[in-house]
Amino acid sequence: MAYSQIILVGLSGTGKSTIGNELARILSWSCIDTDDEIEKVIGDNPSNIIDKQGEEAFRKIEEDLILSLAPVNNQVISIGGGAFQSEKSRIHLSNLGLVFFLDAPIEILVDRLSSKFNEQRRPLLGNDLSKWNDLLNKMDTIRRPNFIRSDFHISTFSLTPAEIAHTILQYLNHSSSIDLKNDKRLIRFISSDNKLLPSVRIGVDAKQFPIWVGSNFLNSIPNIMDQLSIVGKIFIITDTNLNTLYGKKIKDVLTSKKYSVYIHAINPGESEKNLDSVNQLYSWLFENKIERQDTILCLGGGVICDLGGFVASTALRGVKLISLPTSLLAMTDAAIGGKTGVNLPIGKNLIGSFKQPDGIIIDTDFLITLPRRELIEGFAEVIKHAIIFDSNLFVLLKDNKIIAQTITKGDERLINIITRSVLLKSLVVSADPLEKDLRKLLNFGHTIGHALETASSYTKLYHGEAVSIGMIAAARISHNLGFLTSDALNEIEELLVTYGLPISTDKMDVDLVMQLMLFDKKIINNKINFILISAIGNAFIEQNVPAPQIQLAIEGVMRG
């Protein structure tokens, strides 16, 4: 093997010690924990050292110990949560082996840590459990930019230690021939170099797919392409509106770096997401002699990301794919996770595939020119992520509702909210890429929402608007079945309305909506997998929702 050690980093509660021991057991390797090693050397545990000497003194002790670690064959090293802040430590550890960042939502970490409250003292968190959520959020904000410099970003969300260890072993097997210092297959961000650091990475099939979130990325696109080792021709799929606004700019930026660029623009709108458009794109690609080494770049919203992704996954049995989402909906949903698809007359996204983009570039500057209705609909997916996974994000949305009114260039509040939303979905996708269990929760609001879209022939409701209405219907079902409190239901309704999202629609044929739900992809054994919620931040799957309750909820979102 080209590496000799495995290094595990992450916040407290991500399972570094447990997973380190599990890896060591499976591989028959040795395992050390830097906190334990410090106690051996100093004669006191980290908690007491921090109490007596302060955190700064402890970090110096920790750094000295890490720098003293020698190359040892077949060893797993678990690193303290704050140790990776030291650039010296990061560089030294990267020279020893592969670095894995273990990650999970903050609420999950709080649950894990609080369950062991009496077993281990944590001086940086204190003794007041009610403050741990905020404190861990602050730690995460400070430490994440360096954690993301790890070689691999690993989701521990809803996975057992054995499953996480198995995921890491897949990466090890895939990386067995990698030269840590010289191999371009391993994109390393360990030191504070000039590479554009991604905000998040999705990990699927022992591969890492980076996501950049920020502003003013347009001129940096060739640099990102270079980091991703993109060569050959670039085929841009977009719509006519975006081609007018950005097509020439992006083509000029890429051609200035010697890329051959081709652009195909379709008419905007959900009605274009069909097999006729797919055939037109195939003809265009093959007329221009696309090859396996070439790349499709999707410049657009959800329709372009879904449609272009499907074409990229099937042309020549798959070519490289870069997503440059231009709508909030695409930035937080359609471009993230690898789902592609086209519509049929009887239902939405019934033909599709899984194709992870090789890179996703989220530039919030695109939102400045986005029509207001399209901007607002995008917040539905962000709010959905908060409702099902993250009450902290829900509070953040409540506290920053002004961002829905005016989009300004480089707004850090908006970038932070988008990054958190993208991170949540990325952690879910990494843990469950093929939607076997956990990822199904992302369908909250979509079962009824998709049926409403289809019933309106994709002309009256935008996707985010239909999802907003679907979320209210699902929340009301949750309340009527005794799972959700009235206060939580009211909070959800209030937040959706505050962001300008609809919670009702013009009257439709309820029987038709019920019938269309039966074509939903989440049907198993003729039963709908309904996503319900028991609290803000806690969703679950329920197969036994009585039909009268579903009908009542649909009728409840109809006006007139």
Per-residue 3-state assignment (H helix, E strand, C coil) for 168-205? HHHHHHHCCCCCCCCCCCCCCCCCCCCCCCCCEEEEEC
The one catalytic residue in 143, 339, 385, 420 is 339
| Domains along the chain with CATH numbers | 5-192 (3.40.50.300), 209-370+407-431 (3.40.50.1970), 444-559 (1.20.1090.10)
Contacts of 138 (CB under 8 A, 6+ apart): none
The one catalytic residue in 272, 381, 453, 465 is 381
DSSP state of 436: S
338 confidence band (pLDDT: 50, 70, 90): very high
Q: Residue 116, Cβ neighbours under 10 Å: how many? A: 10
372 is catalytic: no
User: For 325-338, what is the mean pLDDT?
Assistant: 95
425 is catalytic: yes
Distance (Å, rounded) from C-alpha 560 to C-alpha 543?
30
Q: State in Å, rounded, how far the first CA of the chain is from the last one.
A: 69
Tell me: pLDDT of 2 over 60: no
Distance (Å, rounded) from C-alpha 34 to C-alpha 37?
5
Distance (Å, rounded) from C-alpha 68 to C-alpha 501?
56
| Mean pLDDT, rounded, of the chain | 92
Tell me: pLDDT of 346 over 70: yes
User: Buried b vs exposed e over 227-237: b needs ≥16 C-beta within 10 Å?
Assistant: bbebeebbbbb
Range picked from 104-118, 271-285, 399-413 for highest mean pLDDT: 271-285
Of 158 and 288, the one with more pLDDT: 288
Distance (Å, rounded) from C-alpha 251 to C-alpha 243?
10
Q: What is the pTM of this model?
A: 0.90
Q: Residue 93, Cβ neighbours under 10 Å: how many? A: 24
Report helix, strand or coil for 86. coil
pLDDT tens-digit map of 55-87: 999 999 999 999 999 998 899 999 999 999 999
The one catalytic residue in 22, 37, 107, 435 is 435
The one catalytic residue in 201, 320, 440, 446 is 446
446 is catalytic: yes
Please state at what angle helix 87-96 crosses helix 55-67, rounded to 10 degrees: 30
Report helix, strand or coil for 283. helix
439 is catalytic: yes
The one catalytic residue in 443, 453, 476, 521 is 443
pLDDT tens-digit map of 468-482: 999 999 999 999 999
Instruction: Kindly state the percentage of the chain with pLDDT values over 70.
Output: 94
Tell me: pLDDT of 386 over 90: yes
Q: What angle do CA 440, 413, 148 make, to 5 degrees?
A: 60
Of 115 and 492, the one with more pLDDT: 492
What confidence score (pLDDT) does residue 1 get? 44
What confidence score (pLDDT) does residue 179 get? 61
Distance (Å, rounded) from C-alpha 158 to C-alpha 145?
23
The one catalytic residue in 16, 143, 264, 439 is 439
521 is catalytic: no
435 is catalytic: yes
The one catalytic residue in 16, 143, 264, 425 is 425
Distance (Å, rounded) from C-alpha 316 to C-alpha 300?
23
Contact assessment for residue 432 and residue 438, using Cβ atoms and an 8 Å cutoff: yes
Strand order in the sheet with 30-33: 30-33, 75-78, 5-9, 97-103, 152-155
Contacts of 457 (CB under 8 A, 6+ apart): none
User: Which of 16-20, 354-358, 452-456, 485-489 has the lowest average pLDDT?
Assistant: 452-456
pLDDT tens-digit map of 16-53: 999 999 999 999 999 999 999 999 999 999 999 999 99
Of 53, 54, 8, whose CA–CA distance to 31 is shortest? 8
The one catalytic residue in 40, 289, 317, 559 is 317
163 is catalytic: no
355 is catalytic: no
What confidence score (pLDDT) does residue 193 get? 59
The one catalytic residue in 16, 143, 440, 450 is 450
Contact assessment for residue 357 and residue 330, using Cβ atoms and an 8 Å cutoff: no
User: For 496-508, what is the mean pLDDT?
Assistant: 96
Instruction: Report DSSP letters for 484-509, one per residue.
Output: S-HHHHHHHHHHHHHTT--S-EE---
Tell me: pLDDT of 523 over 70: no
pLDDT tens-digit map of 150-205: 999 999 998 999 999 999 999 888 766 666 555 555 667 765 555 788 999 999 98
Residue that is written with structure tokens 């076997």 in the block: 436
Partners of residue 542 on adjacent β-strands: 530
Please state at what angle helix 446-455 crosses helix 510-517, rounded to 10 degrees: 120
